[in-house]
Protein backbone atom coordinates (compact mmCIF):
# COMPACT_ATOMS: atom_id res chain seq x y z
CA UNK A 1 0.00 0.00 0.00
CA UNK A 2 1.00 3.61 -0.57
CA UNK A 3 0.31 6.85 1.24
CA UNK A 4 -1.53 9.68 -0.57
CA UNK A 5 -2.14 13.31 0.33
CA UNK A 6 -5.52 14.76 -0.59
CA UNK A 7 -7.43 18.03 -0.68
CA UNK A 8 -11.21 17.68 -0.55
CA UNK A 9 -14.42 19.46 0.42
CA UNK A 10 -17.63 18.34 2.17
CA UNK A 11 -20.89 17.20 0.62
CA UNK A 12 -21.86 19.41 -2.33
CA UNK A 13 -18.85 21.58 -1.62
CA UNK A 14 -20.59 22.97 1.48
CA UNK A 15 -17.36 23.60 3.36
CA UNK A 16 -15.65 26.85 2.52
CA UNK A 17 -12.25 25.66 3.77
CA UNK A 18 -10.62 22.66 2.07
CA UNK A 19 -10.06 19.46 4.00
CA UNK A 20 -6.45 18.27 3.87
CA UNK A 21 -5.15 14.91 5.00
CA UNK A 22 -3.54 11.61 4.08
CA UNK A 23 -4.94 8.18 3.26
CA UNK A 24 -3.45 4.75 2.57
CA UNK A 25 -4.54 2.80 -0.52
CA UNK A 26 -3.23 0.53 -3.26
CA UNK A 27 -3.81 3.14 -5.96
CA UNK A 28 -5.04 6.73 -6.41
CA UNK A 29 -8.35 5.37 -7.72
CA UNK A 30 -8.88 3.29 -4.60
CA UNK A 31 -8.00 6.33 -2.47
CA UNK A 32 -10.64 8.40 -4.32
CA UNK A 33 -13.24 5.68 -3.78
CA UNK A 34 -12.49 5.54 -0.05
CA UNK A 35 -12.81 9.32 0.28
CA UNK A 36 -16.07 9.37 -1.69
CA UNK A 37 -17.58 6.83 0.73
CA UNK A 38 -16.95 9.43 3.46
CA UNK A 39 -19.01 11.97 1.56
CA UNK A 40 -16.03 14.03 0.40
CA UNK A 41 -15.59 15.70 -2.99
CA UNK A 42 -12.00 15.26 -4.20
CA UNK A 43 -10.14 18.33 -5.40
CA UNK A 44 -6.62 16.90 -5.57
CA UNK A 45 -4.86 13.67 -4.66
CA UNK A 46 -1.09 13.06 -4.97
CA UNK A 47 1.48 10.55 -3.62
CA UNK A 48 2.65 11.64 -0.19
CA UNK A 49 6.38 12.44 -0.20
CA UNK A 50 7.58 13.60 3.27
CA UNK A 51 10.95 14.87 2.11
CA UNK A 52 9.94 16.58 -1.10
CA UNK A 53 9.44 20.17 0.00
CA UNK A 54 10.40 22.63 2.66
CA UNK A 55 6.90 22.39 4.11
CA UNK A 56 7.31 18.62 4.41
CA UNK A 57 10.55 19.06 6.35
CA UNK A 58 8.82 21.44 8.76
CA UNK A 59 5.99 18.96 9.18
CA UNK A 60 8.49 16.19 9.82
CA UNK A 61 10.14 18.30 12.54
CA UNK A 62 6.77 18.96 14.18
CA UNK A 63 5.97 15.24 14.05
CA UNK A 64 9.23 14.44 15.85
CA UNK A 65 8.17 16.82 18.62
CA UNK A 66 5.08 14.64 19.09
CA UNK A 67 7.21 11.52 19.65
CA UNK A 68 6.80 11.91 23.41
CA UNK A 69 3.11 11.08 22.99
CA UNK A 70 3.91 7.70 21.45
CA UNK A 71 4.47 6.01 24.82
CA UNK A 72 1.08 7.28 26.00
CA UNK A 73 -0.53 6.01 22.79
CA UNK A 74 1.01 2.56 23.24
CA UNK A 75 -0.08 2.46 26.89
CA UNK A 76 -3.66 3.38 25.97
CA UNK A 77 -3.65 0.78 23.20
CA UNK A 78 -2.33 -1.83 25.64
CA UNK A 79 -5.06 -1.03 28.16
CA UNK A 80 -7.86 -1.30 25.60
CA UNK A 81 -6.53 -4.49 23.99
CA UNK A 82 -6.08 -6.11 27.41
CA UNK A 83 -9.76 -5.34 28.07
CA UNK A 84 -10.72 -7.30 24.95
CA UNK A 85 -11.54 -4.34 22.70
CA UNK A 86 -10.75 -4.91 18.98
CA UNK A 87 -7.82 -2.98 17.53
CA UNK A 88 -9.87 -0.78 15.17
CA UNK A 89 -12.32 0.15 17.91
CA UNK A 90 -9.42 0.84 20.27
CA UNK A 91 -7.87 3.25 17.75
CA UNK A 92 -11.23 4.98 17.30
CA UNK A 93 -11.43 5.51 21.05
CA UNK A 94 -7.87 6.79 21.31
CA UNK A 95 -8.36 9.15 18.35
CA UNK A 96 -11.11 11.01 20.20
CA UNK A 97 -8.72 11.73 23.08
CA UNK A 98 -6.15 13.60 20.97
CA UNK A 99 -6.13 16.67 18.75
CA UNK A 100 -4.02 18.26 16.04
CA UNK A 101 -1.18 16.51 14.26
CA UNK A 102 -1.01 13.58 16.62
CA UNK A 103 -4.69 12.86 16.07
CA UNK A 104 -4.09 12.84 12.31
CA UNK A 105 -1.21 10.42 12.81
CA UNK A 106 -3.50 8.04 14.72
CA UNK A 107 -6.13 8.40 11.99
CA UNK A 108 -3.52 7.32 9.45
CA UNK A 109 -2.94 4.17 11.51
CA UNK A 110 -6.67 3.53 11.62
CA UNK A 111 -7.11 4.08 7.87
CA UNK A 112 -4.34 1.64 7.02
CA UNK A 113 -5.83 -1.02 9.31
CA UNK A 114 -9.32 -0.48 7.87
CA UNK A 115 -7.87 -0.96 4.38
CA UNK A 116 -6.57 -4.41 5.37
CA UNK A 117 -3.00 -3.57 6.42
CA UNK A 118 -1.26 -4.35 9.67
CA UNK A 119 -0.47 -2.01 12.56
CA UNK A 120 3.27 -2.47 12.04
CA UNK A 121 2.96 -1.52 8.35
CA UNK A 122 0.94 1.55 9.30
CA UNK A 123 3.58 2.60 11.83
CA UNK A 124 6.34 2.05 9.27
CA UNK A 125 4.68 4.68 7.06
CA UNK A 126 5.41 7.28 9.79
CA UNK A 127 9.13 6.77 10.57
CA UNK A 128 9.41 10.19 12.20
CA UNK A 129 6.97 9.09 14.88
CA UNK A 130 7.49 5.33 15.22
CA UNK A 131 11.09 4.11 15.25
CA UNK A 132 12.28 0.78 13.90
CA UNK A 133 12.29 -0.80 17.35
CA UNK A 134 8.60 -0.03 17.85
CA UNK A 135 7.67 -1.28 14.38
CA UNK A 136 9.65 -4.52 14.83
CA UNK A 137 8.15 -5.37 18.22
CA UNK A 138 4.61 -4.61 17.05
CA UNK A 139 5.18 -6.73 13.94
CA UNK A 140 6.34 -9.69 16.07
CA UNK A 141 3.34 -9.29 18.37
CA UNK A 142 0.87 -9.20 15.49
CA UNK A 143 2.36 -12.28 13.82
CA UNK A 144 2.46 -14.24 17.09
CA UNK A 145 -1.00 -13.11 18.20
CA UNK A 146 0.42 -11.59 21.40
CA UNK A 147 0.19 -7.90 20.58
CA UNK A 148 -0.93 -6.96 24.09
CA UNK A 149 2.06 -8.73 25.68
CA UNK A 150 4.61 -7.23 23.28
CA UNK A 151 3.06 -3.77 23.73
CA UNK A 152 3.55 -4.17 27.48
CA UNK A 153 7.25 -4.92 26.96
CA UNK A 154 7.58 -2.01 24.56
CA UNK A 155 5.93 0.46 26.96
CA UNK A 156 8.16 -0.75 29.80
CA UNK A 157 11.26 -0.28 27.64
CA UNK A 158 10.28 3.21 26.49
CA UNK A 159 9.66 4.33 30.07
CA UNK A 160 13.00 2.98 31.28
CA UNK A 161 14.79 4.55 28.33
CA UNK A 162 13.12 7.93 28.92
CA UNK A 163 14.02 7.81 32.61
CA UNK A 164 17.65 7.03 31.74
CA UNK A 165 17.83 9.96 29.33
CA UNK A 166 16.17 12.35 31.79
CA UNK A 167 18.67 11.52 34.55
CA UNK A 168 21.65 12.28 32.32
CA UNK A 169 20.03 15.49 31.06
CA UNK A 170 19.22 16.59 34.62
CA UNK A 171 22.84 15.99 35.67
CA UNK A 172 24.06 18.51 33.08
CA UNK A 173 21.19 20.99 33.41
CA UNK A 174 22.34 22.91 36.52
CA UNK A 175 25.99 23.40 35.43
CA UNK A 176 24.81 24.57 32.00
CA UNK A 177 22.47 27.14 33.53
CA UNK A 178 25.17 28.43 35.91
CA UNK A 179 27.73 28.76 33.12
CA UNK A 180 25.24 30.53 30.86
CA UNK A 181 24.31 32.94 33.68
CA UNK A 182 28.00 33.57 34.40
CA UNK A 183 28.69 34.33 30.75
CA UNK A 184 25.77 36.78 30.53
CA UNK A 185 26.77 38.56 33.75
CA UNK A 186 30.41 38.79 32.65
CA UNK A 187 29.49 40.26 29.26
CA UNK A 188 27.17 42.80 30.92
CA UNK A 189 29.89 43.89 33.35
CA UNK A 190 32.55 44.15 30.66
CA UNK A 191 30.37 45.92 28.10
CA UNK A 192 28.46 48.35 30.32
CA UNK A 193 29.63 48.60 33.94
CA UNK A 194 33.41 48.62 33.47
CA UNK A 195 33.55 51.36 30.75
CA UNK A 196 31.26 53.70 32.71
CA UNK A 197 33.09 53.31 36.03
CA UNK A 198 36.60 53.58 34.62
CA UNK A 199 36.01 56.43 32.17
CA UNK A 200 36.65 59.13 34.80
CA UNK A 201 39.83 57.44 36.07
CA UNK A 202 41.14 57.01 32.54
CA UNK A 203 40.48 60.69 31.74
CA UNK A 204 42.44 61.74 34.87
CA UNK A 205 45.57 60.18 33.41
CA UNK A 206 46.45 58.22 36.53
CA UNK A 207 48.13 54.84 36.23
CA UNK A 208 45.71 51.96 36.61
CA UNK A 209 46.46 48.72 38.49
CA UNK A 210 47.47 45.69 36.41
CA UNK A 211 44.20 43.83 37.08
CA UNK A 212 42.22 46.88 35.95
CA UNK A 213 44.30 47.24 32.79
CA UNK A 214 43.60 43.59 31.91
CA UNK A 215 39.85 43.94 32.49
CA UNK A 216 39.72 47.23 30.58
CA UNK A 217 41.60 45.69 27.66
CA UNK A 218 39.11 42.82 27.47
CA UNK A 219 36.23 45.29 27.76
CA UNK A 220 37.61 47.49 24.95
CA UNK A 221 38.11 44.42 22.77
CA UNK A 222 34.51 43.28 23.32
CA UNK A 223 33.14 46.75 22.52
CA UNK A 224 35.34 47.25 19.46
CA UNK A 225 35.31 43.77 17.97
CA UNK A 226 31.98 42.29 19.05
CA UNK A 227 30.97 41.78 15.43
CA UNK A 228 34.19 39.84 14.73
CA UNK A 229 33.55 37.61 17.76
CA UNK A 230 30.02 36.89 16.54
CA UNK A 231 31.29 36.06 13.05
CA UNK A 232 34.01 33.84 14.52
CA UNK A 233 31.45 32.04 16.69
CA UNK A 234 29.10 31.46 13.78
CA UNK A 235 32.00 30.32 11.59
CA UNK A 236 33.18 27.90 14.28
CA UNK A 237 29.68 26.45 14.64
CA UNK A 238 29.29 26.06 10.87
CA UNK A 239 32.74 24.49 10.57
CA UNK A 240 32.11 22.12 13.47
CA UNK A 241 28.77 21.14 11.94
CA UNK A 242 30.46 20.42 8.61
CA UNK A 243 33.11 18.27 10.31
CA UNK A 244 30.51 16.34 12.31
CA UNK A 245 28.62 15.56 9.12
CA UNK A 246 31.62 13.54 7.90
CA UNK A 247 32.19 9.94 9.00
CA UNK A 248 35.71 10.61 10.22
CA UNK A 249 34.81 13.80 12.07
CA UNK A 250 31.83 12.21 13.82
CA UNK A 251 33.90 9.17 14.82
CA UNK A 252 36.64 11.41 16.24
CA UNK A 253 34.12 13.48 18.20
CA UNK A 254 32.39 10.42 19.67
CA UNK A 255 35.73 8.84 20.56
CA UNK A 256 36.70 12.04 22.39
CA UNK A 257 33.40 11.97 24.28
CA UNK A 258 34.17 8.52 25.67
CA UNK A 259 37.57 9.74 26.97
CA UNK A 260 36.18 12.68 28.98
CA UNK A 261 36.58 11.92 32.73
CA UNK A 262 33.27 10.96 34.42
CA UNK A 263 31.17 12.11 31.44
CA UNK A 264 32.71 9.55 29.07
CA UNK A 265 32.02 6.71 31.49
CA UNK A 266 28.46 7.99 31.87
CA UNK A 267 27.92 8.05 28.09
CA UNK A 268 29.30 4.53 27.67
CA UNK A 269 27.17 3.06 30.47
CA UNK A 270 24.05 4.81 29.20
CA UNK A 271 24.61 3.42 25.69
CA UNK A 272 25.26 -0.11 27.01
CA UNK A 273 22.18 0.03 29.23
CA UNK A 274 20.01 1.13 26.31
CA UNK A 275 21.55 -1.49 24.01
CA UNK A 276 20.95 -4.25 26.57
CA UNK A 277 17.34 -3.19 27.09
CA UNK A 278 16.67 -3.15 23.34
CA UNK A 279 18.24 -6.55 22.67
CA UNK A 280 16.53 -8.13 25.71
CA UNK A 281 13.15 -6.72 24.70
CA UNK A 282 13.51 -7.94 21.09
CA UNK A 283 14.74 -11.40 22.13
CA UNK A 284 11.78 -11.78 24.48
CA UNK A 285 9.50 -10.76 21.62
CA UNK A 286 10.85 -13.62 19.48
CA UNK A 287 13.38 -11.90 17.19
CA UNK A 288 16.65 -13.56 16.22
CA UNK A 289 19.82 -12.23 17.85
CA UNK A 290 21.29 -10.81 14.64
CA UNK A 291 18.10 -8.86 13.87
CA UNK A 292 17.99 -7.64 17.47
CA UNK A 293 21.57 -6.36 17.19
CA UNK A 294 20.75 -4.61 13.90
CA UNK A 295 17.92 -2.69 15.53
CA UNK A 296 19.85 -2.04 18.76
CA UNK A 297 22.73 -0.60 16.72
CA UNK A 298 20.43 2.10 15.36
CA UNK A 299 19.37 3.14 18.87
CA UNK A 300 22.98 3.70 20.02
CA UNK A 301 23.96 7.27 19.15
CA UNK A 302 27.69 6.99 19.86
CA UNK A 303 29.33 5.95 16.57
CA UNK A 304 32.22 4.12 18.26
CA UNK A 305 29.82 1.76 20.04
CA UNK A 306 27.47 1.60 17.05
CA UNK A 307 30.30 0.52 14.73
CA UNK A 308 31.42 -2.01 17.33
CA UNK A 309 27.94 -3.54 17.32
CA UNK A 310 27.99 -3.66 13.53
CA UNK A 311 31.33 -5.51 13.64
CA UNK A 312 29.87 -7.87 16.23
CA UNK A 313 26.87 -8.53 14.00
CA UNK A 314 29.07 -9.40 11.02
CA UNK A 315 31.26 -11.67 13.15
CA UNK A 316 28.24 -13.55 14.51
CA UNK A 317 26.88 -14.00 10.98
CA UNK A 318 30.30 -15.41 10.02
CA UNK A 319 29.99 -18.02 12.75
CA UNK A 320 31.85 -16.55 15.75
CA UNK A 321 30.56 -16.69 19.31
CA UNK A 322 28.88 -13.51 20.54
CA UNK A 323 31.39 -12.94 23.34
CA UNK A 324 34.38 -13.41 21.01
CA UNK A 325 32.86 -10.97 18.51
CA UNK A 326 32.25 -8.38 21.22
CA UNK A 327 35.72 -8.75 22.70
CA UNK A 328 37.36 -8.25 19.31
CA UNK A 329 35.78 -4.78 19.03
CA UNK A 330 37.58 -3.58 22.23
CA UNK A 331 34.66 -1.21 22.87
CA UNK A 332 32.86 -3.01 25.71
CA UNK A 333 33.89 -3.71 29.33
CA UNK A 334 34.76 -7.29 30.36
CA UNK A 335 31.52 -7.53 32.39
CA UNK A 336 29.40 -7.03 29.26
CA UNK A 337 31.41 -9.62 27.32
CA UNK A 338 31.08 -12.14 30.17
CA UNK A 339 27.31 -11.61 30.40
CA UNK A 340 26.93 -12.33 26.68
CA UNK A 341 29.12 -15.44 26.97
CA UNK A 342 27.23 -16.89 29.93
CA UNK A 343 23.85 -15.89 28.50
CA UNK A 344 24.56 -17.55 25.16
CA UNK A 345 25.77 -20.75 26.86
CA UNK A 346 22.81 -20.96 29.26
CA UNK A 347 20.13 -19.92 26.78
CA UNK A 348 19.03 -17.11 29.12
CA UNK A 349 20.60 -14.19 27.29
CA UNK A 350 17.42 -12.07 27.38
CA UNK A 351 17.06 -12.37 31.17
CA UNK A 352 20.76 -11.72 31.80
CA UNK A 353 20.68 -8.68 29.53
CA UNK A 354 17.70 -7.39 31.49
CA UNK A 355 19.77 -7.72 34.68
CA UNK A 356 22.73 -6.05 32.97
CA UNK A 357 20.55 -3.15 31.85
CA UNK A 358 19.19 -2.74 35.39
CA UNK A 359 22.73 -2.85 36.79
CA UNK A 360 24.02 -0.22 34.37
CA UNK A 361 20.87 1.82 34.88
CA UNK A 362 21.71 2.00 38.58
CA UNK A 363 25.32 2.87 37.80
CA UNK A 364 24.22 5.67 35.46
CA UNK A 365 21.96 7.01 38.20
CA UNK A 366 24.84 7.01 40.69
CA UNK A 367 27.33 8.44 38.17
CA UNK A 368 24.95 11.25 37.16
CA UNK A 369 24.48 12.08 40.85
CA UNK A 370 28.26 12.22 41.39
CA UNK A 371 28.68 14.33 38.26
CA UNK A 372 26.05 16.79 39.47
CA UNK A 373 27.60 16.91 42.95
CA UNK A 374 31.03 17.60 41.43
CA UNK A 375 29.99 20.11 38.77
CA UNK A 376 27.76 22.27 40.97
CA UNK A 377 30.54 23.61 43.26
CA UNK A 378 33.05 23.80 40.39
CA UNK A 379 30.77 25.97 38.23
CA UNK A 380 29.79 28.10 41.22
CA UNK A 381 33.45 28.68 42.14
CA UNK A 382 34.37 29.51 38.52
CA UNK A 383 31.50 32.00 38.33
CA UNK A 384 32.54 33.61 41.61
CA UNK A 385 36.18 33.89 40.47
CA UNK A 386 35.34 35.48 37.11
CA UNK A 387 32.75 37.93 38.41
CA UNK A 388 34.80 38.65 41.55
CA UNK A 389 37.90 39.44 39.50
CA UNK A 390 35.97 41.85 37.28
CA UNK A 391 34.41 43.61 40.29
CA UNK A 392 37.76 43.71 42.13
CA UNK A 393 39.59 45.13 39.10
CA UNK A 394 36.88 47.78 38.70
CA UNK A 395 36.71 48.89 42.34
CA UNK A 396 40.47 48.74 43.08
CA UNK A 397 41.45 52.01 41.29
CA UNK A 398 38.48 53.78 42.92
CA UNK A 399 39.70 52.68 46.37
CA UNK A 400 43.25 53.75 45.56
CA UNK A 401 42.04 57.17 44.43
CA UNK A 402 40.13 57.52 47.71
CA UNK A 403 43.25 56.66 49.73
CA UNK A 404 45.27 59.27 47.82
CA UNK A 405 42.66 61.93 48.57
**Which pLDDT score is estimated for 351?**
86
Sign of torsion over alpha carbons 105, 79, 300, 120 = negative
Report the alpha-carbon distance of residue 372 to residue 378 in Å, rounded.
10
Q: Which of these three, 159, 187, 217, is where a domain ends? A: 159
Q: Is the Cβ–Cβ distance between 167 and 362 less than 8 Å? A: no
| Same-domain pairing of 341 and 278 | yes
With helix as H, strand as E and coil as C, how does the chain read?
CEEEEEEEECHHHCCCCCEEEEEEECCHHHHHHHHHHCCCEEEEEEECCCCCCHHHHHHHHHHHHHHHHHHHHHHHHHHHHHCCCCHHHHHHHHHCCCCHHHHHHHHHHHHHHHCCCCHHHHHHCCCCCCCHHHHHHHHHHHHHCCHHHHHHHHHHHHHHHHHHHHHHHHHHHHHHHHHHHHHHHHHHHHHHHHHHHHHHHHHHCCCCCHHHHHHHHHHHHHHHHHHHHHHHHHHHHHHHHHHHCCHHHHHHHHHHHHHCCCHHHHHHHHHHHHHHHHHHHHHHCCCCHHHHHHHHHHHCCCHHHHHHHHHHHHHHHCCCCHHHHHHHHCCCCHHHHHHHHHHHHHCCHHHHHHHHHHHHHHHHHHHHHHHHHHHHHHHHHHHHHHHHHHHHHHHHHHHHHHHHC
Confidence of residue 2 (pLDDT cuts 50, 70, 90): low
Say if 57 falls within a structural domain.
no
**Which pLDDT score is estimated for 305?**
85
pLDDT at 82 over 60: yes
Looking at residue 39, which CATH number applies to its domain? 3.10.20
Lowest-pLDDT choice from 24-28, 155-159, 306-310: 24-28
Sign of torsion over alpha carbons 107, 112, 115, 116 = negative
Say if 55 falls within a structural domain.
no
Q: For the chain, what is the domain count? A: 3
- Over residues 177-183, mean pLDDT: 82
Say if 54 falls within a structural domain.
no
- Over residues 148-158, mean pLDDT: 80
Assign residue 358 a region: left if phi > 0, alpha if psi is -120 to 50, beta otherwise?
Answer: alpha
| Same-domain pairing of 186 and 310 | yes
Looking at residue 203, which CATH number applies to its domain? 1.20.81.30
**Which pLDDT score is estimated for 10?**
60
Say if 73 falls within a structural domain.
yes
pLDDT at 194 over 80: no
Confidence of residue 405 (pLDDT cuts 50, 70, 90): very low
| Same-domain pairing of 239 and 358 | yes
**Which pLDDT score is estimated for 334?**
87
Q: Which of these three, 159, 179, 203, is where a domain ends? A: 159
| Same-domain pairing of 95 and 212 | no
| Same-domain pairing of 238 and 127 | no
Say if 56 falls within a structural domain.
no
| Same-domain pairing of 8 and 41 | yes
**Which pLDDT score is estimated for 11?**
53
**Which pLDDT score is estimated for 231?**
92
Say if 59 falls within a structural domain.
no
Report the alpha-carbon distance of residue 99 to residue 96 in Å, rounded.
8
| Same-domain pairing of 335 and 354 | yes
| Same-domain pairing of 275 and 343 | yes
**Which pLDDT score is estimated for 401?**
60
Confidence of residue 99 (pLDDT cuts 50, 70, 90): confident
pLDDT at 1 over 70: no
pLDDT at 52 over 50: no
Say if 223 falls within a structural domain.
yes
| Same-domain pairing of 185 and 147 | no
Q: Which of these three, 128, 159, 190, is where a domain ends? A: 159
Report the residue count for the chain: 405
pLDDT at 79 over 50: yes
| Same-domain pairing of 302 and 216 | yes
Say if 60 falls within a structural domain.
no
* 198 vs 70, residue with greater confidence: 70
| Same-domain pairing of 16 and 142 | no
**Which pLDDT score is estimated for 54?**
40
* 234 vs 192, residue with greater confidence: 234
Closest CA to 158 of 255, 252, 277: 277
Question: Domain limits at 31?
Answer: 2-48
pLDDT at 164 over 70: no
pLDDT at 265 over 80: yes
| Same-domain pairing of 89 and 190 | no
Amino acid sequence: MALYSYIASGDNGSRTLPIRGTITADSPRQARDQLRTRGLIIREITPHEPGATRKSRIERYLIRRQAGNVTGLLQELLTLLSAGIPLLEALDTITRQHKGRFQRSILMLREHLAAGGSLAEAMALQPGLFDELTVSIVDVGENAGTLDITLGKLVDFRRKSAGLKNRVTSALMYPSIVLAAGLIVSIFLMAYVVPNLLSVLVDSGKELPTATVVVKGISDFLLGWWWALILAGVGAMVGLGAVLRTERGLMLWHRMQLKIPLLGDLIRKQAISRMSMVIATLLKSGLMFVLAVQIARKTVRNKVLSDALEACEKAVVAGQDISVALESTEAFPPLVIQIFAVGQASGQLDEMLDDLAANYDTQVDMASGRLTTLLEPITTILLAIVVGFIVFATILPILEAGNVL
